[in-house]
Structure formats: structure tokens, C-alpha cells
Amino acid sequence: MPLTYDRTIVVEKLDELRSSIPDGRTLLGLGMLEVTSQMKRMSQKRASVVIILTDGVLDRSTQILSVKEANTARTLGGTVLAVGVGDFNPSQLIEIVGGSKKLVFKAASFDGLNRIVKHVIDGSCVEISSVEPEIICANSSFEVSVSGRGFNKSGDSAHVKCNFWFNKTTSLLVTPTSFSPTLLTCPSPQRVALRPGDVVVLQVTLNDGVSFVSSNVTITTGVCESSPGVVWAALFLALLALS
């Protein structure tokens, strides 16, 4: 099945899978090869999640190919997780997901998969829920707070960056000044002069810009008027200069 956001296609392919008769072999390596082939054909760098589901023990050649393609998926910006069902080899799956036990989930049987769905989602999803402020002043430095979840999924906060995409033409990475799994604080990039009406799209990357998690929130540049106190102070100084 090709990568798609179309729920109808996903449901159709799942229905086809229900009528399929497996031959008993675990060909995980070939499945991973198809995954990375599709990722390479993607026109945009998107944060991808690869979830492996297996109930078998892999032979050596399949294990080698699976590890190789999982490494390729990560270099393309993907996160690889594994779900083992019944009689599987945990050490094989740990190697495939990159060595982290936290990325391997297990179920006693296929009937028990429903009980671990939430754990898999929590272990895989990275999302931006809000960005503040949504309006910034033209030609002024600013700071944004990015709320969401999963910002710690990379395992190393040094790889986490905010990406400011100005008017869909210029993209600049910035290191957050504060970091938590649910909140990032990012300063404005230097050497960027924003004009009234400019639009900034904020993205987050967990892998130094290999792929990005986007939000539906845009930041708009407006004209910020001086406060009355500043205006009166300037007028007072001008009168003193004339006296």
C-alpha cells in the first residue's frame, strides 16, 4: 500500500489483508525495503513513523536486511517502533529499532493488541498543538512558545530545533532556549527583517532538519504602535530641547 493520508484507502487495504492467507514465513526485511523505497519517493521531508508488527523469529539474513533498512528509515527522518506478538525474539526487535527497549512493545496475542494501542501512540506521536504568540511585531526580535507532545522522542535534546519558515521561501533553524517533552521556547532567528503582513510557519525537527513536524498555526507580522508613555516621553524631551 502506498503512503497515504486517505482513510478510505487504508480501510480498503486492511480489508484485503483480512482475506490474505500467509505462507508462514516472516519476510520483515522485504517489508522494510518497501517502506524505505516509499520514503525516498516522498517529495517533502516529513516526520514518519514506521511500526513493525511481527509474531515470529527472524532468520539471520532477514534480520540483517531489516536492521539495514531500519537504519535507512531513520536517516530519512523516520522513527522505527516494533510490536512483538506471542513468540518473538525481543533482542532482534531492539536491534531493529536502534537499541532502545522503550521503542519495543509486546502483546501476548493478537487479541491483546487493543490493550497496547495507547502505549504505541504515546511512544510514536510528535505533534504541535499551539504556538504563542500568533502575532509578532515587524522589525522586532521575538520569542515563541511551542506546546505539544513528544519533543523528547529523539532521545537527545541537542537534535531538537525550531524551524522558522518565512513566507514559504526562507527556512532557518534555531536552537530552543528551553526544552521539555511538551514545551519548547524558541528565540527569533537573527538577521531576519520581517515586514507587516509577512507570514511565518513554525515547524519542529527532532533530527537537526532531516524531517519536520508541522503545525497548522501560522504567525503573522503586524505593526506594533508605540505606547502612550513612550510618545509623551519623546514629546517632553523634544520640548526640553527647544527651551
pLDDT in tens, 213-241: 877 778 888 877 654 444 444 444 444 44
| 236 belongs to a structural domain | no
pLDDT (0 to 100) of residue 185:
93
CATH assignment of the domain containing 188: 2.60.40.10
| 74 belongs to a structural domain | yes
Total domains in the chain come to 2
153, exposed or middle or buried, with CB in 10 Å at 0-12, 13-18, 19+?
A: buried
Q: Residue 167 gets which letter from DSSP?
A: T
pLDDT (0 to 100) of residue 25:
61
On whether both 76 and 99 belong to a single domain, the answer is yes
On whether both 98 and 67 belong to a single domain, the answer is yes
pTM, rounded to two decimals:
0.60
* Cα–Cα dist 208/119, whole Å: 26
On whether both 11 and 110 belong to a single domain, the answer is yes
CATH assignment of the domain containing 41: 3.40.50.410
On whether both 135 and 171 belong to a single domain, the answer is yes
| 238 belongs to a structural domain | no
On whether both 118 and 186 belong to a single domain, the answer is no
pLDDT (0 to 100) of residue 234:
42
- Before 90, cis peptide (omega within 30)? no
Low-confidence stretches of the chain (pLDDT beneath 50): 227-243
pLDDT (0 to 100) of residue 46:
64
Give the structural domain span for 22: 7-124
| 242 belongs to a structural domain | no
On whether both 105 and 191 belong to a single domain, the answer is no
